[in-house]
A and B are shown apart, each in its own frame.
Chain A
């Protein structure tokens, strides 16, 4: 059984990596590197340590944001899950927040850590809130009834029944929240200030090794031209007069 699932996993990895390599070689897009190129770049960045620096930089807003989201999100989720009145009032807000707030993220600006943490929270909190609320609501009714029939106070029902019963689902919500928060952290680095992993993504995109060629009939206008245009820099394309006029 183990060997079978292992070989299945290896096979699926092989299929994915194979498709990646082929797609990079075809190529589906000039901006799409092959598997080998990507892995080479990863090895290079691992050796010179830049990927670790970038991850450490990204980790800071992520860690702070996830911490805040965990406390705030599970608190709000608990509250929504426990009270039927706030469920229909607030749960839709968080459902909408998940999708509707992403465009607003584009407008978030600022160079400080705060705005990045804010983006992480916006991404992570709805996920955590909705999962926690659902977990609390899914506590088996007979368990609550059992506690009540043994004279449990509301506090006991919460601490001894609802929280332990809900905790597996609350924790899976937190796990989803962390990955949503990670997307938020990268998003903030792409949109707000270029640091960490977001910086590497933007830089790698700008130095795309494009090898552009173009021919007009039998005239070759461009031959394997590669240029780098970086963000924050002005590049002039300078040449003799008439160079811009197509001759055909």
Chain B
């Protein structure tokens, strides 16, 4: 929609710098990329010339973690995102959804406190996306890290979020913050039928409708 969601995420990541104002992570002002944050890219940003396990371990390879150690860590997260058995495959041998799992495992393996996900499912087909979102909820529970998730899908945002910040365009600003209260602890299957879930989706659509041409 062009309301600066990705820009904000990249400023938090430190790959873009803000013209004014500052971003703090655990009280520390962000001046550039840091080990406390990791990024999941919309287009996956995988290295096409190396295997899944090397892609996942890439964030550990850069600071020079020993091969044995980083592959053990990568292995753990490959299992966690449901990619066990794909370690030796190359990105072109995987489907879109599976590729993004590699991107997610790579972001998790550096053990950052903040995960920045830039429309991670927009290049993934609908059914894979549904499964992926359910898995993401599990992952948020087990990893206990801060996830910042950019999406343009209302249903997706309400489904996965503990807090939804609605950004409006021209100029971009936070128009509303919504915290679902009741359905977060329910099972992944019953969320979509929860009355509060449906109410919030509807409410957001009413407030966004006027911005859609």
Contact = CB atoms under 8 A, between A and B. Distances in A.
Contacts of B15: 145, 148-149
Contacts of A145: 10, 15, 39, 41, 45
Contacts of A143: 45, 47
Nearest to B43: A142
Interface stretch (A65-73, A98-106, A126-134, A150-158): A150-158
A151 B45 contact: no
Contacts of A140: 43, 45
A146 interface: yes
Interface stretch (B57-65, B124-132, B164-172, B193-201): B57-65
Contact of A146 (B14, B35, B45, B63): B45
Interface in A120-140: 140
Contacts of A149: 13-15, 33, 37-39
B49 interface: yes
Interface string B81-112: 00000000000000000000000000000100
A150 B33 contact: yes
A196 B63 CA distance: 54
B18 to A, nearest CB: 16
A146 B62 contact: no
Interface in A154-176: 156, 160-161, 164-165
A190 interface: no
B45 A156 contact: no
A161 B62 contact: no
A151 B62 contact: yes
Contacts, number: 50
A150 B40 CA distance: 11
A150 B58 contact: yes
Nearest to A153: B62
A149 B48 CA distance: 18
Contacts of B41: 142, 145-146
Contacts of A142: 41-43, 45
A146 B37 CA distance: 12
Contact of A150 (B10, B38, B48, B49): B38
A141 to B, nearest CB: 9
B62 A152 contact: yes
A195 to B, nearest CB: 43
Nearest to B42: A142
A147 B62 contact: yes
A202 B33 CA distance: 64
Interface in B136-162: none
Contacts of B110: 150
Given A145-B15, A156-B62, A164-B49, A151 B43 contact: no
A148 B33 CA distance: 7
Most chain B C-beta atoms within 10 Å of own C-beta, residue among A146, A161, A165? A146
Nearest to A150: B59
Contacts of B63: 151
Interface string B13-51: 111000000000000000001110111011101011100
A164 B15 CA distance: 22
Nearest to A164: B49
Please list the 4 inter-chain residue pairs (A to B) with the smallest Cβ-Cβ separation, ordered nearest first: A146-B45, A150-B59, A142-B45, A149-B39
5 contacts: A148-B15, A150-B38, A150-B58, A150-B62, A165-B49
Given A143-B47, A149-B15, 10 more contacts: A140-B45, A142-B43, A145-B10, A145-B39, A149-B14, A150-B38, A150-B58, A151-B35, A151-B62, A160-B58
